[in-house]
Chains A and B, each alone.
Chain A
Amino acid sequence: MYIAGMGVVFNRGRGLASLENALIQGWVKPNEFAYRVPQETLTDKQVLKEARRADSFTKMATLAAYDALADSNIPQETRAKVGIILATAFGPQVTTFNFLDDILTYGDAGVSPTIFSHSVHNAAASYIALNLQTRGPTLTMTQFADSFRQAVILAESWLSEKRCEYILVGTADQTGKVMEYICSQKLKIAPDGLIKPFNCAKEPEAIPAEGSAFFLMTNHENYNQYCSISALPVDNREKADLYILDSDGMCGSEEGYLRIANSHSPVAAYAPILGSMLTLSSFSCAIGALMLKNGKLYPSPVRDNPHQMNILEANPTLPIHKIDCLRYNCNQEEQLIRLRKEGA
């Protein structure tokens, strides 16, 4: 399965150019211990014309999906049959809490139907379909830290069955005051605002974040603009040329990543730029795909390295053809998505 287009919305803006700029610029201290998407990022009236009343969750996802489709060069006549798979850890939880506010303030009979209908997890995918006028299979799934990998597996399955020829596969998650309070109680928030992904700490530090990343995926090799992507398990693991670690402090102990340290494989990590999200792996895949397309490496923004991991330099001499995006979940289970350059 190939990546034909990508789109991202994150704390420093919208689009692949913003992502590349952030990767070059490096770490920036977060405001109020969270990386939020600026509201001005979500004001594209043209793209969001059908989503004027939608919440930030839906707007982030709609913009990222639109950009992924626009980034591709798939035939115009196929666009109406594009499928959509949206993966999210917590869904539009800010809207859910707004609805609870309504119940507590106005009572059972005084709540807003608009807020209710936008609090449903699949509202964003529906808006994407409405905005892009796609009528293919449309599905939303949630599996906490494994959400994006499960979405990629399903996309491979649908394409293989020819349920559709092109699929927008992406993630969206948002933060907000209640979620940030929960994170402060359940996680260790980095006091200096700096996530240290190579510490492999038993109690790692996090900075809650939000964003959306979408990919236009297809089995048609001629529309491949970046690389292939697969989340199916590999029995006899080929070593990757680079491991992008999703160590962002969201899943408890990160000691599992020491396995990679001990193997001396080249590693990189970008959570300090993007923040902590259970769906971070989608952004890691986007960065990996950019690297494979552009033939250049983006330096890891934080290089604290107590375990002498083999952190990749910006201009390595070794060729990079295969990248594994790796997450250890709360049960220390390995979750892996592989990117591979054409011909590798």
Chain B
Amino acid sequence: MPATDIAITGLGAISACGNNLQETLQNFSNGKRNGGPVTLFQSNLDYPVFQVNNLPHCTSKIMRSLSLTFAAANQAICNAGLEEGFGNLRVGICLGTTVASQLNDTDFYRQYRESGHAPMGSVDRYLNSNLAQALSKFLNIQTHLCTTIVNACSSGTDAIGVGLSWLRNDYCDLVIAGGADELNRVPLDGFGSLSVVSKSLCAPFDRNRAGLNLGEGSGIIILEKKSVSLKRGRNPELFLKGYGLAADAYHLTAPRPDGSGLEQALIQALNEARIGPGDISFINAHGTATKDNDLVEARVLARVFGPKVKFLSTKGFTGHTLGAAGGLEAVFTCLGLCNGWIPASPGFKDLDPEIGIAPVDQKTQISGKYAVSTSLAFGGNNSALIIAKN
């Protein structure tokens, strides 16, 4: 496979931390956390969540996940200077999600259960909300590369990795990649039943962490061959250099205790980027704030990158946005490299002696060229991206 430089030329993000990149950076800098009670639907559960306010494109005809997608995609497209369209470029679309792939509409199901009949509006909304397909229609893009990844919490990262593969194989010139997920009653109840949701704001990697908070959002990046972006008159600064993906083959909901799946994914990504662990300036970790995830993940980070590695979890700003998380965190990793700083890992106070290493606890200057974003998912999927700044 000939080496092809794959540039990141556009970024878009919407989450409880901000409806665009500027708001996000401001909240990162101030350490502001917008978690609070759920108001999007009725719930008897008393868990704080991270909701998006003032969501554009929001109508009852499409799922909220799709409105989030449109918002982030519009930002990324404008950021890449593609507002006027894609011209003759061969475009692929690859997006990750969890909620938008399921017809988990309790009102629809209640009516069906009670009477054996239910109106098809919910079904139509679901069928119209396959993220990749709907975005291709929204942007009027004709493409044979249009895929929605449903790899649970690593979906967004894997969607970006799939985009990288398409470009390296010259299947297309440019890919719109990332993830989106809405806050929904089903995962809130489901994660609650697994006893992994915190009743207070989450504290990733902290000794007293008590579980995750759910959130919603979308993070989308524009990937394109460097040669294509240069022809468009852009001079890209950011590059996607490597992607690793490996299975635990261990348990449906718990990570493999030795973390070997994540380690394999990281090493694969580093090898693809042709760099070593010492080249990494910081890691945007998955860091859900569950006991198991943070313990396994941090131990692997220490093992691969050494005990002094700079890392953080941004889930204290966004909540766990499931299929969107990988997309959002790839965008946040790009922002860290571009701006030369990463925020304090929100919620962290005390070192967990079992973990042995601590995330950054204050706004931290970054000087290196490479950064990592990791995702761990239900079912034992482990994914890692290597992003570089020129």
Closest to A93 in B: B103
- Interface status of A219 (Cβ within 8 A of chain B): no
- Interface pair A122/B152, CB less than 8 Å apart: yes
- Interface size classification for chain A: 35 or more
Given contacts A133-B249, A138-B247, A139-B151, contact A186 B144 (CB under 8 A): no
A186 to B120, CA, bound (A): 8
Give bound CA distance, A323 to B194, whole Å.
48
Contacts of A112 in B (CB 8 A): 193
Cβ-based interface call for A103 (8 A): yes
Beta-carbon contact of A130 and B249 below 8 Å: yes
Judging by beta carbons under 8 Å apart, are B378 and A120 in contact? Answer: yes
Given contact pairs A122-B381, A126-B378, A129-B380, A108 touches B112 in the complex (Cβ within 8 A):
no
Provide the residues of chain B in CB contact with A93, threshold 8 Å.
102-103
- Given contact pairs A122-B151, A143-B146, A117 touches B252 in the complex (Cβ within 8 A): yes
Residues of B within 8 A of A18 (CB): none
Bound: A23/B195 CA distance, A: 49
**CA–CA, A111 and B194, complex, Å:** 9
- Is the C-beta of A74 less than 8 angstroms from some C-beta in chain B? no
Taking CB atoms, residues of chain B closer than 8 Å to A119 are 102, 104, 186, 190
Measured CB to CB, the closest approach of chain A to B291, in angstroms, equals: 15
CB distance from A165 to the nearest CB of B (A): 14
1/0 per residue, CB under 8 A from B, across A134-150: the answer is 11111111111010001
B380 touches A126 (CB 8 A): yes
Taking CB atoms, residues of chain A closer than 8 Å to B117 are 181
CB distance from B320 to the nearest CB of A (A): 14
Decide yes or no: A117 and B247 within 8 Å by CB, A97-B109, A100-B106, A143-B147 being known contacts.
Answer: no
- A103 x B189 contact (CB < 8 A): yes
Q: Does B166 contact A (CB under 8 A)?
A: yes
Decide yes or no whether B43 CB sits under 8 A from chain A.
Answer: yes
Contact partner, A157, options B98, B106, B144, B171, Cβ 8 Å: B171
Knowing A120-B378, A157-B166, the reply to whether A111 touches B190 (Cβ < 8 A) is yes
- Determine the distance from Cα of A71 to Cα of B191 in the docked complex, in whole angstroms: 38
Is A91's beta carbon under 8 Å from chain B?
yes
Contacts of A178 in B (CB 8 A): 109, 112
Nearest-neighbour CB distance to chain A for B104, whole angstroms, equals: 6
The answer to whether B27 has its CB under 8 Å from any CB of chain A is: no
Q: Residue of B at shortest CB range from A82?
A: B247
Residues of A135-192 contacting chain B, CB below 8 A: 135-144, 146, 150, 153-154, 156-158, 160-163, 178, 181-182, 185-186
* Known pairs A108-B185, A138-B245; A182 contacts B113 (CB<8 A): no
Question: Does A125 sit within 8 A of B, measured CB to CB?
Answer: yes
Instruction: Tell me, yes or no, whether B78 is within 8 Å of chain A by CB.
Output: no
- The yes or no answer to A96 lying at the interface (CB within 8 A) is yes
* C-alpha gap A192/B113 in the complex (Å): 28
Given A123-B379, A138-B381: A108 touches B261 (CB 8 Å cut-off): no
Once the chains bind, are A126 and B252 in contact (CB under 8 Å)? yes
The residue that B101 contacts in the complex, of A100, A118, A129, A142, with Cβ under 8 A, is: A142
Complex Cα distance A146/B188, Å?
Answer: 30
Instruction: Say yes or no for A319: interface residue by CB 8 A criterion.
Output: no
The verdict on A113 contacting chain B, using a C-beta distance below 8 Å, is yes
| Contacting residues, chain B, for A116 (C-beta < 8 A) | 186, 189-191, 193-194
Please give, as numbers and ranges, the residues of chain B lying within 8 Å of A125 by CB-CB distance.
Answer: 379
The reply to whether A109 and B158 form a contact with Cβ atoms under 8 Å apart is: no
Q: Within 8 Å CB of B86, what residues of A? A: none
Bound Cα distance A101, B106 (Å): 9
Given contacts A138-B247, A146-B146, contact A118 B252 (CB under 8 A): yes
Given A123-B252, A137-B247, A182-B123, verify A99-B171 contact (CB < 8 Å): no
Within 8 A of A (CB), among B359-390: 377-381
Instruction: Among A101, A138, A232, find the residue whose CB has the most chain B CB atoms closer than 10 A.
Output: A138
B residues 151-199 touching A (CB-CB < 8 Å): 151-152, 158, 162, 165-166, 168-169, 171, 185-186, 188-195
A-B contact pairs, 25 of them (CB 8 A): A91-B102, A99-B104, A104-B113, A108-B43, A108-B192, A111-B192, A111-B193, A119-B186, A121-B101, A121-B150, A127-B252, A130-B249, A134-B249, A137-B246, A138-B245, A140-B149, A141-B147, A141-B149, A142-B101, A144-B133, A150-B146, A153-B144, A154-B162, A157-B166, A160-B1
User: Measuring CB to CB, which residues of chain B are less than 8 angstroms from any residue of chain A?
Assistant: 1, 43-45, 98, 101-104, 106, 109-110, 112-113, 116-118, 120, 123, 127, 130, 132-133, 144-152, 158, 162, 165-166, 168-169, 171, 185-186, 188-195, 245-253, 260-261, 264, 377-381
List 4 other contacts, CB 8 Å, given A133-B249, A161-B168, A232-B171: A122-B151, A130-B252, A153-B171, A186-B120
Binding site for B on A (CB under 8 A): 84, 88, 90-91, 93, 96-97, 99-101, 103-104, 107-109, 111-113, 116-123, 125-127, 129-130, 132-144, 146, 150, 153-154, 156-158, 160-163, 178, 181-182, 185-186, 232-233
